[in-house]
A and B are shown apart, each in its own frame.
Chain A
Amino acid sequence: MNALATHGLTKSYGDQTVVAGLDLAVPKGTLYGFLGPNGAGKTTTIRMLLGLVKPSAGRAELLGQEVNVGTSAAGVLGKVGALIEEPGLWPYLSGRSNLLCMARSGGKDERLDRIDEMLDLVGLSGAATKRVKAYSQGMRQRLGIALALLGRPEVLVLDEPTNGLDPPGMREIRGLLRRLADDGVTVFVSSHLLFEVEAMCDRVGVLAGGRLIAEGTPAELRAPGESLRIEVDDGAAASVVLERFRGLEVVSANHGSLRVTLADGLDPAEINRMLVSAGVAVRALVPERRSLEEVFMALIEGSDQ
């Protein structure tokens, strides 16, 4: 059973389609990164997964159960913790009171020591009695995360969880999410921060124009077209030699520095030998993995066409 799944999920507002026949499957226990440019439909998809927005077509499933607006997908939503766009806090209440009020709604009470435990986990024990009105954005964000974790969820759905946090804070949260995933919690993270997704996610899905245009582990997404940077003395001669290789594409050539992408199966050592035996002096042969950002930008541009 997948923790989260969608089948042909669609949402249109008038003649504008925000989510178009999305088929998503997030296995249990993964840390899944949900990427996409602004307006790709990430937040709308999340809202449909949580029963806040009604799909125009298709369906969303949470822990195997279909999610419907208006019926609280009873047992299932109770196992989910969420942070959607921004934390929702009552400004005139203290941090602790916010957690208490949320904890008491819905008929499932949390023990007081659980609340203190969560405050401690996100580093807000000191500020717990201050009114949320006085909180900085980072503190509000931390409280939002505490809230999401309050009910010991099996699935965490987080929209930009490190928003507003300073770098040490972001690291802390990333570490926390990684630990939770390792403990078996499914963590579904939507983020703009590609390096962050790259660093912590098991799987990544890229959404653009309301569709999933790529999916896989970060390594799988980066893999096609591993590139090689070759420093030579004679760029022209080198290009001639390289042209003979099928499956090799010269991406850029700048005096003595060539960047080439390789298809699977082509061995850099082989290329080195060909160049050297053709009399081209090879100064450096550096495999360069594409960053997720490059992959992402390429995918996005590709989907625009």
Chain B
Amino acid sequence: MGAALGGIPIILVISLLLSPGGGSSGEDGPPFYELIVRNGFFTPLAALGALQVFLLPLAAALLSGDAVAGEAATGTLRYLLVRPVGRLRLILSKYAAAVVLITLLILWVTIVGLVAGGAAYGWGPMPTLSGSTLSPGTALLRIGGAACYIATGMSALAAVGVFASTLSDSAPGASVATVGLAIVSQILESLSALAPIHTFLISERWLAFVDLFRDPIVWGEMAEGLVAHALYAAVFVALAGVVLARKDVMS
């Protein structure tokens, strides 16, 4: 998985190197794609934006869907509980593990992007969307911030995954349901007729990290995003804890 995700920024850079006069990605392409030729710093952002649609949610779903259902499938859940490992403690540690792993994956993509983009197009002062420029140091800081923000979005999804995992003895089943939710959310997001419910969709603020690259930084949507992601995480982890606490473990 690390190889697949890490490959994306490299592919983006290569595609640009191969198209003289810069590339264009059209409406469905990764954000910031055309800007990479002006500054390599845009590479990780473009890569993360592209992965955000499916592959990152998939990774989050796979890591979290395995939480309880995976142990049920191997037959180890009952032994862990009899150790004893408290049921809530089990949920929390599995969730923490999923969050740490997805964050590491995101950082990995970021680093590969920085290296590949920088090697091809340099690490000079970074232009913002508002027209000004950022020093390389500030740019790196904001890119790190973007990576962290994306991690919060994925952690919200991971909480849903852990919850799904308590409802099933099939880890793949829980993962599919979770990634399904992410996809449906994005579809609904794109339907303007459903605007009233957009604020409740889990994916609504996943791409708000672009606001870090405006001058001055626009905090509004990102702040909302952090709150929304935290709420999703709290609610679904709590639900997972409640379900597992009352469940008859027959696996």
A binds B: yes
Contact, CB under 8 Å: B77 / A88: yes
- Inter-chain CB contacts under 8 Å: number: 75
A39 interface residue (CB < 8 Å to B): no
Given contacts A69-B246, A88-B75, A90-B74, contact A52 B83 (CB under 8 A): no
Taking the complex as formed, is B1 at the interface, i.e. its CB lies under 8 A from any CB of chain A? no
* A47-B249, A69-B248, A78-B84 given; A52·B79 CB < 8 A: no
A89–B86 alpha-carbon span in the complex (Å): 19
Contact of B76 among A70, A82, A88 (CB under 8 A): A88
| Nearest-CB residue, chain A, relative to B81 | A52
Given A47-B249, A70-B245, also A88-B85 (CB < 8 A): no
Which of these, A71, A89, A108, contacts B75 with CB under 8 Å? A89
- Which residues on B sit within 8 Å (CB–CB) of A51? 81-82, 84
In the docked arrangement, what's the CA distance between A105 and B83, Å? 7
Q: How far, in angstroms, from A51 to B246 measured CA to CA in the complex?
A: 11
State whether the Cβ of A84 lies closer than 8 Å to any Cβ in chain B. Answer: yes
**Which of chain B's residues have a CB closer than 8 A to the CB of A91?**
74
Asked if B80 is at the interface of the complex by the 8 Å CB criterion, the answer is yes
Minimum distance in angstroms from A263 CB to a CB of chain B? 46
Classify the secondary structure of A's interface with B: loop
Contacts of B250 in A (CB 8 A): 47, 52-53
Q: Contacts A47-B249, A52-B248, A52-B249 known; A70 to B82 CB distance under 8 Å? A: no
B83 close to A78 (CB less than 8 A): yes
Interface residue A80 (Cβ < 8 Å from any Cβ of B): yes
Contact A52 B84 (CB under 8 A): no
The docked-state distance in angstroms from the alpha carbon of A77 to that of B80 is 11
Whether A50 sits at the interface, judged by CB under 8 Å, is yes
Question: Once the chains bind, are B84 and A74 in contact (CB under 8 Å)?
Answer: yes
- Could you tell me if A72 and B87 are in contact, using CB atoms closer than 8 angstroms? yes
Residues of A with C-beta under 8 A to B75: 86-89
Interface flag for B198 (CB, 8 Å): no
Partner of A88, one of B79, B84, B86, B245: B79
Cα distance A105–B87 when bound, in Å?
Answer: 12
Chain A neighbourhood of B84, CB < 8 A:
51, 72-74, 77-78, 106
Q: Which of A96-120 contact B (CB under 8 A)?
A: 102, 105-106, 108
Tell yes or no: B214 within 8 A of A by CB. no
* A192 at the B interface (CB under 8 A): no
Distance of A162 from chain B, by nearest CB (Å): 19
B-side contacts of A262, CB under 8 Å: none
Q: Is B142 in the interface zone, CB < 8 Å from A?
A: no
A103 to B77, CA, bound (A): 14
Residues of B within 8 A of A70 (CB): 87, 245-246
Q: Cβ of B82: which chain A residues have Cβ within 8 Å of it?
A: 50-52, 77, 80, 82, 84
Instruction: Report the nearest A residue to B80, measured CB to CB.
Output: A105
Complex alpha-carbon distance, A53 and B78, angstroms: 10
Considering only CB atoms, which chain A residue lies closest to B71 in the complex? A88
Q: Which residues of A contact B76 (CB under 8 A)?
A: 88-90, 102
Q: Which of A191-217 contact B (CB under 8 A)?
A: none
Find chain A residues with CB under 8 A from B247 CB: 69
Jot down 17 A-B pairs with beta carbons below 8 A, ordered by A: A51-B81, A51-B82, A52-B81, A52-B249, A53-B248, A70-B87, A72-B87, A78-B84, A80-B82, A87-B75, A88-B74, A91-B74, A106-B84, A106-B85, A108-B83, A147-B79, A151-B83
Interface residues of A (CB under 8 A from B): 47, 50-54, 69-74, 77-78, 80, 82, 84, 86-91, 102, 105-106, 108, 147, 151
Q: Which residues of B contact A (CB under 8 A)?
A: 74-87, 245-250
Smallest CB-CB A-B distances: 9 pairs:
A106-B83, A88-B75, A72-B84, A70-B245, A88-B76, A77-B84, A52-B249, A53-B248, A88-B79
